[in-house]
Amino acid sequence: MDNNQRLKSLCVGLRFNRQDVHKCCRLGGYDASISEADSWLRGAGALKRGAGGAGGTVQRRYRPIPDAAFDAFCWGLKDYLDALEDKATGADSTEQ
């Protein structure tokens, strides 16, 4: 199992989308765009045909997630989940 598959499994279980992945990565210290996060969640065979009919170019929509990005996602995940919980309960995570 590679990091893309691990990320996809976590996202399915947590019901995360590409914006959630983007936010977790940023909280963990990796500046990922939403587009990058989207490409990490695609299947390895995902392709996109460009304009031009039969002569159009084919682009890969999948990209392997770098180890640093996956680590950042994991590090940012707790802070992100804490913020979601605080928002749901109306609590402030700085109060302790």
> Which tens digit of pLDDT belongs to each residue from 27-51?
999 999 999 999 999 988 888 877 6
51 located within any domain: yes
- pTM of the entire predicted model: 0.81
Domain that holds residue 13: 3-89
**Domains contained in the chain, number:** 1
83 located within any domain: yes
Question: What backbone torsions phi and psi does residue 50 show, to the nearest 5 degrees?
Answer: -80, 175
**pLDDT (mean) for 51-65:** 79
Distances (CA, A) of 33 to 5, 11, 52, 65, 69: 19, 17, 28, 12, 11
32 located within any domain: yes
28 located within any domain: yes
**Is the distance from CB of 40 to CB of 10 less than 8 angstroms?**
no
Distance, CA of 92 to CA of 39 (rounded, Å):
33
